[in-house]
Amino acid sequence: MSAPTSVAVAAAAPLSVAEARQRIASAVAGHGPKACEVVDLMAALGRVLAEEVLAPQDVPPHDNSAMDGFAFAGQALVAGQATRLRVVGRALAGHPFAGSVAPGDCVRIMTGAMMPAGTDTVVPFERCEQQDDVVFIAPETVRAGDNRRRRGEDLAVGAVALPAGRRLRPADLGLAASLGLSRLSVRRRLVVALFSSGDELRSPGEALAPGCLYDSNRFMLAATLTQLGCEVLDLGRVPDDPQALDAVLRQAIERADAVVTSGGVSVGDADHTRAVLARHGAVDFWSVAMRPGRPFAFGRLERPDRAPCWFFALPGNPVAALVSFQVLAREALLALAGAEGDAVPPLAARCAEPIRKRPGRAEFARVRLSLGPDGHAQAQAWGGQSSAALSALVGAHGLAMLQPQQGDVGIGDWMDVLPFEGLC
């Protein structure tokens, strides 16, 4: 192992989570690649919309029936009297009735079929009676205009259907399709270099020498980045050696918009990551008052004539790595990718079992969610809270965000929970 490297940044008191998030957010604001590409709708899930989508036509494109029934002119309805209509034809979805419907006549119509000319009201089959070609409607069964979906009721032509910066979800793709769009203009994917550092790390499939363990972070973080919509540049695992770190960092600087690393960011004899990062740019801060976590370095790597490459150096302990990523790096990477308005508020849940908490730092407890006896969500600390215990993370539904100033959490206390599902 090589000699410890001196760190080129002043040791500072840990930042609060709020301050760290704020510093990262303002540093990356307005940065990120602006290049766009056009993709097929089927390949657009999770991509960030480059420009707003305006409705090129009304949705639905024509008035249509919301029910299976009979379409007629509502003027035939008279208060307190039964209505009698003559059936003159049939309309199905995709097969409009060609003619015009005279007052007192009606057309047998199916859901989604275009409202025939002369009609504005539908009486559902189950709310009327038919004998041969005559339909009877009891008094006060329907009002004029009932069960008709208006043209443009979902979206009127020219309305903003999807805003720029939208990270596309399944419903967005459905909406785009309903507008007749087969392709969308999206931002190019953010390229994020990823490597793990540590002499002790081995890749799954390799034999473990004494004192070694498998590199779990890289697989977990690559998957998380992929779910975020990033293109992952996997740079493998790197030994605790400043020269090797320097070489891999140069590759990241050359090829990526951001770099995510884990391990070697603390103050141990083998922790060289910060010093090597500082050679290529500026380490903004490297310690955050949170648990799990604390060692976490953020900053920029400079490169001539190009936007900086941002780095997020996570702690090595797997739970600490993932929690730090979700709490500190996730939103910044989304912002760099051009995504806007993506934040979902945390879920309020009652504490189901006391949680020990030391004031002075934010804590992120791994919790399982269930429905409490009062009908509200409740959260229970799950598995060991060790920053190395991935099994607890696997069983948990989310992170209870315990505020820095707060102490122990009692049964029934409200907590903010960040569910894992919905983070991406």
Which of the residues 299 through 338 are near Mg ion (CB under 5 A)?
316
Does residue 200 touch ligand AMP according to CB under 6 A?
Answer: yes
- Candidates 408, 387, 180; CA nearest to 291 is 387
Amino acid occupying residue 208? L
Question: Which stretch in 18-26, 143-151, 197-205, 374-382 sits in contact with ligand AMP by CB under 6 A?
Answer: 197-205
Q: How many Cβ atoms from other residues are within 10 Å of residue 302's Cβ?
A: 12
To Mg ion, the closest distance from the beta carbon of 264 in angstroms equals 5
Does residue 198 touch Mg ion according to CB under 5 A?
Answer: yes
- Candidates 305, 237, 308; CA nearest to 273 is 237
Binding partner selected for residue 180 from Mg ion, ligand AMP, none, CB under the kind-specific 5 to 8 Å limit: none
Residue 280 CA to residue 271 CA, distance in Å, equals 17
Instruction: List the Cα angle 380/411/383 in 5-degree steps.
Output: 25
User: Which residue in the block uniquely carries the two structure tokens 């060609």?
Assistant: 98
As given in the structure block, the two tokens for residue 274 are 């910060």
- Residues 72/141, Cβ–Cβ less than 8 Å: no
Question: Which stretch in 73-81, 96-104, 137-145, 262-270 sits in contact with ligand AMP by CB under 6 A?
Answer: 262-270
Amino acid occupying residue 403? Q
Instruction: Name the residue nearer to ligand AMP (CB basis): 16 or 216.
Output: 216
To ligand AMP, the closest distance from the beta carbon of 362 in angstroms equals 19
Does residue 315 touch ligand AMP according to CB under 6 A?
Answer: yes
Residues in contact with ligand AMP, total (CB under 6 A)?
Answer: 19
Amino acid occupying residue 120? D
To ligand AMP, the closest distance from the beta carbon of 264 in angstroms equals 5
- What phi, psi does 40 have (nearest 5°)? -65, 150
Q: How far is CA 189 from CA 5, 17, 145, 231, 333, in A?
A: 35, 27, 48, 6, 11
Does residue 318 touch ligand AMP according to CB under 6 A?
Answer: yes
Does residue 292 touch ligand AMP according to CB under 6 A?
Answer: no
Which of the residues 173 through 192 are near Mg ion (CB under 5 A)?
none
Binding partner selected for residue 215 from Mg ion, ligand AMP, none, CB under the kind-specific 5 to 8 Å limit: ligand AMP
Does residue 264 touch Mg ion according to CB under 5 A?
Answer: yes
Question: Which stretch in 197-205, 250-258, 357-365, 408-416 sits in contact with Mg ion by CB under 5 A?
Answer: 197-205
Q: How far is CA 233 from CA 113, 189, 194, 259, in A?
A: 50, 12, 6, 9
Which of the residues 213 through 252 are near ligand AMP (CB under 6 A)?
213, 215-218
CA-CA-CA-CA torsion sign (321, 325, 326, 327): positive
Instruction: Name the residue nearer to Mg ion (CB basis): 201 or 396.
Output: 201
3-class secondary-structure state, position 326: helix
Binding partner selected for residue 216 from Mg ion, ligand AMP, none, CB under the kind-specific 5 to 8 Å limit: ligand AMP
Binding partner selected for residue 229 from Mg ion, ligand AMP, none, CB under the kind-specific 5 to 8 Å limit: none
Residue 207 CA to residue 213 CA, distance in Å, equals 10
Q: Which parts of this chain interact with ligand AMP (CB under 6 A)?
A: 196, 198, 200-201, 213, 215-218, 262-266, 268, 315-318
Q: Which parts of this chain interact with Mg ion (CB under 5 A)?
A: 198, 263-264, 316
